Each structure stands twice: as C-alpha cells, then as structure tokens.
Amino acid sequence: MLPTRMLAAASLLALATACAQPPAGPVKAAADVDWPFYGGDAGGQRYSAAAQITPVNVAGLKVAWTYSTGELARHPKAIERAAFENTPILAGGKLFVCSQFNRVSALDPGTGKELWSYDPKLDDRVRYPNDYICRGVTYWADLEAPTGAPCASRIFLPTVDRRLIALDAATGALCPGFGKGGSVDVGQGVLLERKGQMQITSPPVIVNGVIVVGSSIDDNQRVEEVSGVVRAYDARTGAPKWAFDPLANAGPGVKAGAANVWAPMSADPARGLIFLPTSSASPDFFGGLRPGNGGMANSVVALDAATGEPRWSFQTVHHDVWDYDIPAQPTLADVGYGGRTTPAVIQATKQGLIFTLARDTGAPVIPVEERRVPQGGAPGEPLSPTQPFPIAPKQLSPTKISETQAYGLTPWDRGKCRDLIKGARHEGIYTPPSLQGTILYPFTGGGVNWGGLAFDAGRQVVYVNTSSALHKVTLIPADKVKATKQAELDTEVSEQRGAPYGMKREVLRVILPCNPPPWGQLHAVDMRTGKVLWEVPLGATGDLAPGSQFLLGNVGVPNFGGPMATASGLVFIGAAMDNYLRAFDGANGRELWKGRLPAGGQATPMTYVWKGRQYVVIAAGGHGKSDTKRGDQVVAFALPGPLSQ
C-alpha cells in the first residue's frame, strides 16, 4: 500500500493530467478572422478576436501543416547569417510569407500549399550587419482599381538590398506601373561605402495611397553616417512623395547620421498619421561631435502621411550613447489609465520602460519624470544630466548589479563573472561608456526589442517580453582600434571613424550570462493603473547549454520576437532561445502548452480563423545573432478533429 503522501501526490498528478486533456468531441466552427497587417492591425496591437482555441482546450493543439520556403537549399552558406523573423499576414484569402532572403510565398491558409512565389534574387554574398531579414510584407487593396484588374490588390515587399517591390497579390506578378518595372530603388542617390551598409528589414506602412518605408543602417562605423531619412512614395506609381530626416532639427554644428527607422512603423488612417520609432544618431557610443539631445533621434514621431511634416515627437533617451534606440513598433490603442479613455501610443523600449503618449499631441498619458543619471563621460562627451522615466509601469528590466550578484553554474564560472563585473564601471542605468569599460544593463538587445508588445483592449492589459543580460562597452583610443581588432578577432570592435574613440562591445557570460536569472520574462501590465499584474520566466536553457535545464528548470532565456493575444485570454509567444511556441493564460501567466519547433522560433506568431478553424502560425528558421538552429519552415498549429456548427 502507498504511503499517504505518495497517494496524495498521485491523486494531484492524475488531476493535473485530466485537466490538461482537451475536451472530447468536435470543435465548434468559428467565424473567419483575418490578420491583414504585420502587427495584426494597422496600429500593431497583435491581438485577434479569434477565440476557438481557449485556456481549456489549448493543450490539444497539434501541427496542422508545415511549409518550407526552400531557403536552406538555395542559400546553404548564407543561412548562417540570416534570421527568420517574419510574421505572416492573412489578407484577400491568402497567407503571405516572406523568407529570410525576401522570397514571398502565397499559401492556402488551410493547407499551407504554395499558390505562388516570387524571388527577388538577392546576392547572398553581400554581408549585411543586421543579417538577412524580412519581418513582413504589406498588403494593399487599391479601391480605385477596377474589380479583378491586375494589381488591384498588392503585396509590397521591402528587400535587404533596398528595393521596394510591388506584386500582384492574386498572381505574384510584378506590377509594371509601379516604379521601374514594379520596383523602386529606395537607396537611389545614397552614397554607400559598401553594399550592405543600408538595408530594409521591416514592412512599410500605407495611408491613403502613400507608402512609407524606413531603413536599417550599419552601427558604429563612423561619425558622419548615412542619413536615416524615411521615404514616401505613391502606392500606385512609385513616384516619390516626400522624405523626412529625424536629424534635420538637431542643431548647428552637429556631425552625425543614422537616427533611422529600422523597426516597424504604425499607421492611423483616420487621423492621416504615421508613427515612427527612430534610432540613435551615429555613432552609438560617443556623442561628442553631436552636442544636444539629438533632434528627433530616439523618439516616437507622428508624421502627416500626406506631407511628411511632423505633428509631434517625444524623445525617450536624450543624447543617446548607449544604443538605446527605439526598437519596437509603436502600438496604437485606446488606454483607460486613471479612469479616462485616451487614444494613445504605447511605446516599449530597450530599457524595459513603457511610455504611454496621447496620440494627438504626444503628451504623456502616464506622467513622465526627468531623473538625474550618472555623469562623467569620456573627455569631450556632453551628456544629458537627466533622462525620462514614466512613473508607471515599473521598469520591467533590472538595471543594477554588483560583483556579489555574479552568476555561474560552478564556483569557477561565478568567479570569472565576478571579476568581469568588478573590473567595469557601473552606477546603474545610463552609466556612460568609458575607457575603463562600462556595464550596460539592460544590454543593447533588451529589455524589449523588435517583437514589441500585445494589447488586449477589452481587458486593458499589455503583454510584453523582455531579455536581461550584461553588455560591457569599452571605448578605445582611435590610434589603438586597429591593434585591438587584430588581437581580439572574436569580439565586436568598431572604428567609429571620425570620433576620438572606437568601441568594443561584449556580452558578459561564461557559458551562461553573468547576471542572475531570469534572463527572459513575459509580463502583463494593467494599463488602467500601470501596475504589473504578473511576470513569469520565458523559456529554458536546454538548447543553450544542453542538460542545464535539469539543474535550472524554466529560468527564462534571452528572446527575440514578440507576443500575440487572443480574445479567449491566451497569449502565444515563441521568441525564446529554446525552439518552442508557448501558450500562456493571460489571467495569471501560467504556461498551458508548448509545441516543439523544427528550428528557432525567434519570430512573432499570428493567428487567424479560416473556414471555421483557428490556426496559430509561426516562422521557425532560427536567428543568426542568437545562433539558434537555422531552418526555413512555417508551422501552423490547430485543434484536430471535425468541426461542428
């Protein structure tokens, strides 16, 4: 006979197993739901009204279909320098997927069967600093075109080699009336030192027939970098409409470039506005030749879509010398903070901060304070004495560490990490880069990155994931950069040409990160109060350090990609560096299901209902900078069995 404690444990296990089983019987058919934009809607809420999959039955999800883009075979060597960050869209009855190498495929939403594909024929010998990436494509229906006419509905494809291509959404054929034979050279007239210096990685946005596109520019190479101009074109003809430079008002005597928009933008067609998340001015870690706060760098900028004129801007970092550019799509939502509903822009940042701004004016909906930050930068560095902090929610990422908090699996690991931390300058967030070497915490890849956040308007809850790691940034006198590069071949060393200092950036880790876990988290924030409802670790270490998960469990790992929320109260997310797609209960953060992926799922999932069945889809192709398993598959999950009416 089993002891009482063992009987109780067995009973609890049986109960948990029973609760995890999906209900018997067919799934009820649901009304069809599209996902027509990269972020679900034009404002990037990453929310779906689909509710067939629920917290009760989500454990029954199975693979419904998979689709291979074929890129592993086409680009066997360059795939190591690629990241499959795509979020597919469902519009006009087709699912559109963009591969790492900008190949677009139109798929049957119910089977994953390829209906057509278009390959822009990239030269995969070119080295791009941000890898081969296509986060998404843009669908547009021309309401002035005759029904059924060629290119009456279009897919706009941005490419890493700076083309904006218009395709017939029905057939995949080039739209000959757009630009030159269906393509516009976004880099026309831009003087580049090398081919890969400028690229496009995020989907364009369209308002009232005007299509707007940003760019990604190589970091830390020189002071007078390529300008981060945002460009607009006529969506029918490709004719240029306007151009906007975030540094146009940076002030006299400023030598800088970049401040580009590499992350996805958002649109409010009713207001005729486009919202830009701008990056930092060049170079990232020394600003002595760009005095002042940097114009509209590191800002949320609202532009008039028709003219490109700025309506307002709000800066999240003054005089950035930490590479804390705005990495995520601004999310447009009606926010009920303090009992009053306000049309707002919710902006997550690398610092783990969330700013909530009025959509019409840019004024903070949740108050923002200017707080004193560490001073004493490198010689010639005019730092800002303060930085902006919203009073709510709390900062979602840790910002301070001492050598006594050094982490490691063994005493030797901890000792090495302790020495690395002790030897660097660190006085909390915004400690300036130094010749001694400065710890940036959060590192430049987190808290929040390009995956952004999901917003459930009915529940007034933001769901957002963060990463936590340490970067050490060391300034190097210009005359010693070349020797440092030669001596440290496996470390990132950049010249920052024209500045008195180059830079060295390294992640502090010994197998695992030197800061204590969790290294990745998923958070829920009540936007009526600004309070964090829950936060849980995201991911396990098994695919980073095999066997370590048995010692550490689900401690959370660094992640790239974002969450997606549904009306049934579920939050789906891949992102973590352990090759799973997960479903969480939005009410309490409990992990309800996870599905193994054939390669890294460092992408944001999407969902739709097609012919009565709900599918959850994610790109599983890995990530070059995360060094997760590479692949070329799109995976769709659904509840199995027949549908009932």
Give the DSSP H or E segment for 420: helix 411-422
The length of the chain is 645
Type of residue at 304: D
pTM of the predicted model as reported, rounded to 2 decimal places: 0.95
Q: What is the pLDDT of residue 6?
A: 33
Predicted confidence band at 409 (pLDDT cuts at 50, 70, 90)? Answer: confident
User: pLDDT digits over 340-384, tens only?
Assistant: 999 999 999 999 999 999 999 999 999 999 999 999 999 999 999
- The answer to whether 231 touches 171, Cβ cutoff 8 Å, is no
Reply yes or no on whether the pLDDT at 4 is more than 60. Answer: no
Q: What is the dihedral of CA 324, 330, 334, 337, to 10 degrees?
A: 0
Q: What is the pLDDT of residue 45?
A: 98
Burial classification of residue 13, based on how many CB atoms lie within 10 Å of its CB (0-12 exposed, 13-18 middle, 19 or more buried): exposed
Partnered with residue 240 across adjacent β-strands are 233
Q: What is the pLDDT of residue 79?
A: 96
**Torsion angles phi and psi, residue 144, rounded to 5:** -90, -10
User: Which one, of 282, 276, 448, lies nearest residue 345 by Cα?
Assistant: 276
Distance CA 441, CA 437 (A): 13
Q: What is the pLDDT of residue 76?
A: 96
Q: What is the pLDDT of residue 3?
A: 38
For the residues 130-134, what does the mean pLDDT come to? 95
Distance CA 23, CA 28 (A): 12
Distance CA 314, CA 294 (A): 12
* DSSP letter for each residue of 160-184: TTSEEEEEETTT--B-TTTTTTSEE
Reply yes or no on whether the pLDDT at 11 is more than 90. Answer: no
Q: What is the pLDDT of residue 58?
A: 98
Q: Specify the residue for token string 């959404």.
A: 169
Q: What is the pLDDT of residue 574?
A: 98
Q: How many helices (H) and strands (E) does the chain have?
A: 5, 46
Q: What is the pLDDT of residue 9?
A: 35
Predicted confidence band at 25 (pLDDT cuts at 50, 70, 90)? Answer: low
Q: What is the pLDDT of residue 18?
A: 35
User: pLDDT digits over 442-463, tens only?
Assistant: 999 989 999 999 999 999 999 9
- The answer to whether 539 touches 554, Cβ cutoff 8 Å, is yes
Distance CA 361, CA 391 (A): 19
Q: In this structure, which long-range contacts are made by residues 155-158, counting pairs with CB atoms below 8 Å and at least 24 apart in sequence?
A: 155/96, 155/104, 155/106, 156/203, 156/204, 156/206, 156/211, 156/235, 157/98, 157/102, 157/104, 157/118, 157/120, 158/102, 158/134, 158/186, 158/200, 158/201, 158/202, 158/203, 158/204, 158/213
Reply yes or no on whether the pLDDT at 20 is more than 60. Answer: no
Q: Specify the residue for token string 């440290």.
A: 488
Reply yes or no on whether the pLDDT at 226 is more than 50. Answer: yes
Reply yes or no on whether the pLDDT at 14 is more than 70. Answer: no
User: pLDDT digits over 558-604, tens only?
Assistant: 999 999 999 999 999 999 999 999 999 999 999 999 999 999 999 99
Strands 461-467 and 520-526: antiparallel
**Torsion angles phi and psi, residue 418, rounded to 5:** -60, -40
For the residues 323-340, what does the mean pLDDT come to? 98
Q: Would you tell me how many other CB atoms lie within 10 Å of the CB of residue 310?
A: 18
For the residues 154-162, what does the mean pLDDT come to? 98
Q: What is the pLDDT of residue 19?
A: 41
Give, as one character, the DSSP assignment of residue 18.
H
For the residues 70-93, what does the mean pLDDT come to? 97
Higher pLDDT, 11 or 440: 440
Kindly list the distances between the CA atom of residue 136 and the CA atoms of 265, 317, 619, in Å, as whole numbers in the listed order: 12, 27, 11
E strand map for 186-298: 198-199, 205-207, 210-213, 216-217, 230-234, 240-244, 266-268, 273-277
Type of residue at 494: S
Please identify every residue annotated as catalytic. Answer: 323
Q: What is the pLDDT of residue 446?
A: 87
Predicted confidence band at 552 (pLDDT cuts at 50, 70, 90)? Answer: confident
* DSSP letter for each residue of 474-536: EEEEGGGHHHHHHH-TTSEEE--BTSSEEEEEEE-EESEESSPSPSEEEEEEETTTTEEEEEE
CATH superfamily for 35-644 is Quinoprotein alcohol dehydrogenase-like superfamily (2.140.10.10)
Q: What count of Cα atoms within 13 Å lies in the side-chain half-sphere of residue 313?
A: 24
Distance CA 395, CA 633 (A): 36
Least confident stretch, 14-28, 161-175, 275-289, 366-380: 14-28
- The answer to whether 534 touches 522, Cβ cutoff 8 Å, is no
Average pLDDT, the chain: 94
pLDDT-above-70 percentage for the chain: 96
